[in-house]
């Protein structure tokens, strides 16, 4: 049985840990799986919770819950707070966070330290896969030189390990596990042998028959693919924000216009009007190409489209705030219900959710905010200043739908008559809209009226 060590048990590493703990061939488990977290308060807490059969991540995915229960039953599936176990590992997956901080000298500090420690412990014929999203060139310019230096000291050739990169596309929510196992995968390595070994490993847990693998020429191509992918999405979102702003002045129905445009295959992924960008990736990844060009390649490119898109998306909640103000001129002392706090639909994940910015904006205008979200909010602890309610009710002046949870689409709205309803993310169904219209309820949908 091969041993896999997963370094970093965050939103990417932990589901991977559960998946690999459950992989079987001919009714026998393929891997012994060790999850490795830092020896700090959070890392020790993750280990302790797992020992008590508690997942530190709250997921809506039934597969996640089922895999957790099964993994916990295996003695060959465990968590540690040190890197000693990698000495006996055949495969090492690195899924640690990377953020480029304002203090540029310290941005790579943790990554350098981790690379130094790993390269002093791993043995020959070990497959090493980095999944973390990096500025293109990070592996070639920072990680690989450290590996080469330390392996040389240990009289191990760099070619005797299999160094690869394969970025993640994990999405929290009801399809959390499928976003790992049933998703297109890109990968690359330092040589052909490394690429082949990486591919064979990925094939043990990813549905490669349905979801094509893309082997890229080299690691920097693979690093770049993730950054370009997320830059495209960020730019697409920013583009629609411009049109959302003008739609109220032109008195056009932008949602219907986009619906018609999306019928063309070439434009089928045009974004919709919305509250804003949240989550861990789109709020930071596009900037990585600017960091890469300046730090690694000394190219002074400003990437104006990417830079402007990030700036627009950070302030995008203001479009919704101004839209609300244009319909309700005085928000002072208005009792307002915010529906949806997570950064995307059908998940409890609130990381960098634009709803927080909208709430701050409304509070600054004197609005009295209450929040309702049907999901157990678990990924942000800063709820102490929010008035959370446990059940949707009509006792508000304004009701603002921010997140398109399926639950909201099933709400019965026939008792809403005197409230003002705002839909900022195409949340409500056509049938719900008809009911509001029949009740002569004031209903406003961002981009449509």
Q: pLDDT tens digits for 166-183?
A: 999 999 999 999 999 999
Whether residue 350 is found in the same domain as residue 432: yes
In a domain, 209, yes or no: yes
What is the pLDDT confidence band of residue 255, given thresholds at 50, 70 and 90? very high
In this model, does residue 105 exceed pLDDT 60? no
Contact 235, 270 (CB under 8 A): no
SS3 32: strand
Using CA atoms, how far residue 148 sits from 92, 111, 118, 120, in Å, is 17, 15, 12, 10
**CA-to-CA distance for 17 and 77, rounded, in angstroms?**
8
- By CB neighbour count within 10 A (0-12 exposed, 13-18 middle, 19+ buried), where does 165 fall? buried
> How many residues are there in the chain?
449
The torsion defined by the Cα of 186, 190, 196 and 197, in degrees rounded to 10, comes to: -100
Whether residue 258 is found in the same domain as residue 345: yes
In a domain, 63, yes or no: yes
Contact 16, 177 (CB under 8 A): no
Whether residue 329 is found in the same domain as residue 193: no
Whether residue 267 is found in the same domain as residue 181: no
**CA-to-CA distance for 291 and 279, rounded, in angstroms?**
20
What is the pLDDT confidence band of residue 374, given thresholds at 50, 70 and 90? very high
| Weakest mean pLDDT among 148-162, 353-367, 372-386, 417-431 | 372-386
Q: Domain range spanning residue 82?
A: 2-217
Domain boundary among 217, 246, 261: 217
CATH number assigned to the domain comprising residue 153? 3.40.50.720
- When pLDDT is averaged across residues 96-120 and rounded to a whole number, the result is 86
Contact 92, 86 (CB under 8 A): yes
Whether residue 235 is found in the same domain as residue 211: no
What is the pLDDT confidence band of residue 302, given thresholds at 50, 70 and 90? confident
As given in the structure block, the two tokens for residue 165 are 């990169």
Looking at the structure of the chain, the number of domains it has is 2
CB count in 10 Å sphere of residue 10: 19
In a domain, 223, yes or no: no
As given in the structure block, the two tokens for residue 211 are 């979801």
The tens digit of pLDDT for each residue in 14-70 reads 999 999 999 999 999 999 999 999 999 999 999 999 999 999 999 999 999 999 999
Q: What is the per-residue pLDDT for 300?
A: 85
**CA-to-CA distance for 446 and 321, rounded, in angstroms?**
10
In a domain, 433, yes or no: yes
Whether residue 111 is found in the same domain as residue 46: yes
CB count in 10 Å sphere of residue 205: 16
CB contact set of 62 (below 8 Å; sequence gap of 6+): none
Mean residue pLDDT of the chain comes to 94
Domain boundary among 182, 217, 252: 217
Contact 90, 3 (CB under 8 A): yes
Angle at 405 between CA 322 and CA 68, to 5 degrees: 135
Whether residue 245 is found in the same domain as residue 391: yes
As given in the structure block, the two tokens for residue 322 are 């101004």
What is the pLDDT confidence band of residue 382, given thresholds at 50, 70 and 90? low
Domain boundary among 162, 192, 217: 217
Q: What is the per-residue pLDDT for 321?
A: 98
In a domain, 134, yes or no: yes
According to DSSP, the β-strands at 185-189 and 162-165 are antiparallel
In a domain, 72, yes or no: yes
Q: What is the per-residue pLDDT for 378?
A: 56
Whether residue 342 is found in the same domain as residue 253: yes
Whether residue 113 is found in the same domain as residue 258: no
In this model, does residue 229 exceed pLDDT 80? yes
- When pLDDT is averaged across residues 104-130 and rounded to a whole number, the result is 93
Whether residue 240 is found in the same domain as residue 127: no
Whether residue 118 is found in the same domain as residue 199: yes
- When pLDDT is averaged across residues 107-113 and rounded to a whole number, the result is 93
**CA-to-CA distance for 194 and 200, rounded, in angstroms?**
10
In this model, does residue 381 exceed pLDDT 60? no
As given in the structure block, the two tokens for residue 69 are 């229960």
In this model, does residue 310 exceed pLDDT 90? yes
As given in the structure block, the two tokens for residue 412 are 């019965």
What is the pLDDT confidence band of residue 353, given thresholds at 50, 70 and 90? very high
- When pLDDT is averaged across residues 272-299 and rounded to a whole number, the result is 89
Whether residue 163 is found in the same domain as residue 212: yes
As given in the structure block, the two tokens for residue 408 are 């909201």
């Amino acid at each position: 049985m091969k041993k896999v060590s997963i370094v970093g048990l965050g939103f990417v590493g932990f589901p991977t840990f559960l998946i690999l703990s459950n992989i079987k061939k001919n009714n026998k488990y393929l891997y012994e799986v060790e999850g490795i977290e830092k020896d700090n308060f959070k890392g020790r807490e993750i280990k302790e919770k797992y020992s008590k059969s508690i997942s530190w991540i709250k997921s809506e995915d039934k597969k996640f819950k089922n895999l957790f229960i099964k993994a916990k039953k295996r003695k060959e599936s465990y968590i540690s707070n040190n890197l000693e176990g990698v000495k006996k590992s055949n495969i090492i997956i690195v899924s640690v966070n990377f953020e480029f901080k304002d203090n540029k000298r310290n941005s790579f500090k943790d990554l350098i330290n981790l690379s130094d420690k790993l390269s002093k412990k791993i043995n020959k014929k070990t497959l090493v896969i980095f999944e973390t999203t990096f500025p293109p060139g990070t592996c070639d310019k920072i990680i690989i030189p450290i590996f080469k230096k330390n392996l040389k000291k240990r009289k191990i050739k760099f070619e005797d390990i299999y160094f690869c990169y394969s970025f993640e596309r994990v999405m929290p929510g009801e399809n959390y596990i499928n976003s790992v196992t049933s998703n297109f995968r890109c990968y690359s390595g330092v040589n052909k042998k490394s690429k082949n070994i990486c591919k064979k490993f990925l094939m043990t847990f990813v549905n490669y028959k349905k979801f094509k693998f893309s082997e890229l020429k080299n690691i920097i191509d693979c690093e770049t693919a993730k950054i370009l992918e997320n830059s495209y999405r960020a730019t697409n979102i920013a583009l629609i924000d411009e049109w959302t702003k003008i739609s109220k002045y032109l008195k056009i129905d932008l949602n219907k216009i986009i619906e018609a445009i999306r019928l063309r295959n070439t434009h089928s992924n045009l974004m919709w009007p919305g509250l804003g960008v949240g989550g861990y990736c789109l709020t930071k990844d596009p900037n990585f190409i600017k960091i890469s060009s300046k730090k690694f390649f000394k190219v002074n490119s400003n990437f104006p489209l990417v830079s402007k898109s990030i700036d627009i998306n950070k302030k995008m909640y203001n479009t919704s705030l101004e839209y609300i103000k244009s319909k309700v001129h005085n928000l002072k002392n208005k009792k307002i219900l915010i529906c949806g706090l997570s950064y995307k639909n059908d998940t409890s994940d609130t990381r960098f959710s634009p709803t927080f910015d909208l709430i701050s904006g409304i509070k600054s205008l004197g609005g009295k905010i209450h929040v309702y979200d049907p999901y157990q909010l678990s990924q942000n602890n800063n709820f102490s200043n929010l008035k959370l309610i446990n059940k949707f009710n009509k006792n508000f002046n304004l009701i603002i739908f921010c997140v398109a949870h399926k639950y909201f689409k099933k709400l019965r709205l026939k008792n809403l008559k005197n409230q003002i309803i705002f839909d900022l993310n195409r949340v409500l169904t056509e049938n719900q809209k008809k009911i509001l219209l029949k009740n002569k309820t004031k209903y406003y949908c961002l981009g449509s009226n």
